[in-house]
Structure 1
Amino acid sequence: MKIQKLKLYTNKLDLEKQFYSNTLGFEILESTVNHFTLKIGWSELTFEKSEKDYKYHYCFLIPSNKLNQAIKWMEKRVPILDLEEGRKTQRFESWNADSFYFYDASGNIAEFIVRHELKNAIDSDFKISDVLCVNEIGMPTSDVKKMNNQLQEKFGTKFWKGDPLRFGTNGSQEGLFLLPNYNLKDFWFPTSIKIKPEPFSVTINNNDQTFYLEYKNEEIKKYS
């Protein structure tokens, strides 16, 4: 599965635009008074203006050999979150992945991740245009198994790894829905951001088919 387009909502649109375009240097594809869209590798990330303050967790994929270079590059521009004992990176053994975290301008928890099994190493020094895609989006739910089954039935995506009760994942290493049960898991790691089922829309490609869906009030709406 690949995430082609992701739309999130923010009540800090101008700050978010400045953060992603000026601070980090992503290319802006489109910009109006109500939204802007960024080029993130093969993905597009849009922030749309809202009155309400939403909090998301999402993740970007970077080349598998560029974790340390990316941290050094990012630390010059944005604080990287400290983990236990002052660590900057988190190892996920069962995923064969490593990542680090930072806040965007809206206070969302964002992440850069390397997935070693994808074998997408590059030779050049890390730069922001090397970010490959939007790789994950949080889809909190009160019933992980039910949500996973809906995704599978509507879009043909599969349960990947995790716990079908507390925290599961749906998709593939190229693109994942994160499915935490917010009744059993309170906060987005490694923060105190409360896990809530916030609205978003996303266009995915799975098995050479493209789907557009909206997620709101824990319901998935599929559009052709």
Structure 2
Amino acid sequence: MRIHTLQLPVSDVAQVGGYFADVLQLPVQDDVVRIGWTEMQLRPAGNHLIGGVHLAFNVPADRFEAATEWLLARTPLQRNAAGETHFTFGGRWDSESIYFDGPDGLILELIGRRRLPASGRVGRFHGSELTCVSEVGLPTADVAALSERAIAAFGLGYLSPPVACFAALGDDEGLLIVVDATHRWFPEQKVLPNARGILVRLGDVDAGELHDTEQGWRVGSPAGSGR
């Protein structure tokens, strides 16, 4: 699954665009940020709540150490209660992650997934090496029910066995992170999830639509873009 486009409500389009250009070295044109194959459009939040939005960016696993050094020079990392900043996940995740704060209270993540192709690049890391937005957090009141709707809508499967408050649907290239709306984000566990006003368009899945009216987000895959 690929996350092709993402509309992100923000408090100030120019300011948030400047963050992605200056801190993460991503190409920004007007209100559009390009992260590999993902196009992220920034739009005024209006009455939508900001803060608590989770996005992850894929990094080639063989460049994760260089990416960590690059990010540390640009922004602090989030820590868990034990003070740890680097997290290795086994099983079907087979990955490692670091987390950091973005503008408007974004919960951002760099993740290196070992099953994906290596980069082969050496030397200093650059933001242009981020390959995509690979995760979008989607809060809901009923994780199991929403997950089943996502499976029916797009033909997705679980990356790993779901639990009551969390489910990851998709694959290494793209995941919908379905999370209980009352479950605070890892690793700091301080911020509740939010996705109000977010609109996601998927590729490499069945054509379908998914939304949560109470939480105010929508995901779709246009006809003709499915498997």
Please confirm whether the aligned pair reaches a TM-score higher than 0.5, indicating the same fold.
Answer: yes
| 1:118 aligned partner | 116
* SS of equivalent residue, structure 2 residue 21: helix
| 2:187 aligned partner | 190
AA in 1 matched with 2:168: T
* SS of equivalent residue, structure 1 residue 17: helix
Cα deviation, residue 197, structure 1 = 4.9
AA in 2 matched with 1:45: M
Cα deviation, residue 122, structure 1 = 2.2
AA in 1 matched with 2:145: K
**2:71 counterpart (59, 71, 74):** 74
RMSD: 2.2
Q: Which has the higher strand share?
A: 1
Alignment of 1:192-207 (within 5 A): 192-207=190-205
Give, in whole Å, the separation in 1 of the partners of 2:71 and 2:218: 34
Cα deviation, residue 153, structure 1 = 1.6
* SS of equivalent residue, structure 1 residue 100: strand
User: Are residues 1:21 and 2:21 paired?
Assistant: yes
* SS of equivalent residue, structure 2 residue 39: strand
Alignment of 1:21-40 (within 5 A): 21-28=21-28, 30-31=29-30, 36-40=31-35
Distance 1:221 1:127, change over 3 A: closer
| 1:96 aligned partner | 94
Once the two structures are superposed, what CA deviation does each residue of 1:183-220 show, in whole Å capped at 9, x if it has no partner?
4x2x111231112453311111124x666766553475
| 2:10 aligned partner | 10
Give, in whole Å, the separation in 2 of the partners of 1:88 and 1:99: 9
Give unpaired runs (5+ residues) of structure 1.
none
Give, in whole Å, the separation in 1 of the partners of 2:5 and 2:209: 9
Distance 1:211 1:60, change over 3 A: farther
Residues 90 and 100, structure 1, Cα contact 8 Å, conserved in 2: yes
AA in 1 matched with 2:177: L
* SS of equivalent residue, structure 2 residue 148: helix
* SS of equivalent residue, structure 2 residue 62: coil
The number of residues matched between the two structures is: 216
| 2:171 aligned partner | 172
AA in 2 matched with 1:43: T
Distance 1:161 1:199, change over 3 A: farther
Give, in whole Å, the separation in 1 of the partners of 2:6 and 2:24: 18
* SS of equivalent residue, structure 1 residue 117: coil
Residues 200 and 218, structure 2, Cα contact 8 Å, conserved in 1: no
Cα deviation, residue 163, structure 1 = 2.2
| 2:131 aligned partner | 132
**2:57 counterpart (57, 60, 63):** 60
Residues 60 and 119, structure 2, Cα contact 8 Å, conserved in 1: yes
Cα deviation, residue 165, structure 1 = 2.0
Residues 200 and 214, structure 1, Cα contact 8 Å, conserved in 2: no
AA in 2 matched with 1:202: V
AA in 2 matched with 1:59: A
Cα deviation, residue 75, structure 1 = 1.6
* SS of equivalent residue, structure 2 residue 149: helix
Q: State which drifts further: 121-130 or 92-101.
A: 121-130
Give unpaired runs (5+ residues) of structure 2.
none
